[in-house]
Amino acid sequence: MFKKQLNLIFVLLLLTVDDIPNKWSEALFKKILENNYDCIFFITANKDSIYNPEYKNLIKNIIRNGYIIGNHSFSHSTNNWNNNFLLAFIDFQKMHKIIEKEFGYKMQYLRIPYGIKENTGIKLFKKFYKYKSIKWTIAVKMHFNRFECQNTVECNYEPIRINDNKYYVVLFHPTKSIVENFDKIVECLEKKYGKIKRLYE
């Protein structure tokens, strides 16, 4: 089957980071902040690491600097979501309430773990809490310290509309290799796909 090619003319790249907070999240955030790149950080509890004082300060700093925090579910586990759709609703609801209570911040975007399809529970959660889903167009992966950009099939190579703009959405994970190779990755992304959206133009 013939695959569509990316039409990258005049469409910015928007960075997103999944699975924060962890031990590499702060270093990756600093790289993004120093370069004034816009980014959405998708948060999960990561075995209650969100309650770690160091990680709480990181989340406060992300919000304070004008970045968006997105909901990546509390458990990051999709086990049994298809068997009981309410589990998905409860998982995203729990993360939503924690962030609102701990940081006074109301999230409005979510990303489903592992890119699985929305079930009834997720659709109900989005409707009740007025959320929007953000998938990704380009997944950044490292293989033995060798950088690879992979275009994902699920978005059909089309830009994603966020509010009134369209973006090619880049997916990062906060890992040692991503942090250490960040400048090289960004250079490659902009050369291959287009300009990265800045937080403050």
CATH of domain 12-192: 3.20.20.370
Q: Where are the domains of the chain?
A: 12-192
pLDDT in 10s for each residue of the chain, 201 residues: 333 444 444 578 999 999 999 999 999 999 999 999 999 999 998 665 777 888 999 999 999 999 999 999 999 988 888 888 899 999 999 999 999 999 999 999 999 998 888 999 999 999 999 999 998 888 888 766 667 776 654 444 567 777 778 888 999 999 999 999 999 899 988 988 889 999 987
pTM of this structure = 0.89
According to DSSP, the residues that pair with 198 across neighbouring strands are 37
Give residues with Cβ within 8 angstroms of 141, minimum separation 6: 147, 148, 149, 150
Query: Closest Cα partner for 41 from 87, 64, 79, 72?
Result: 72
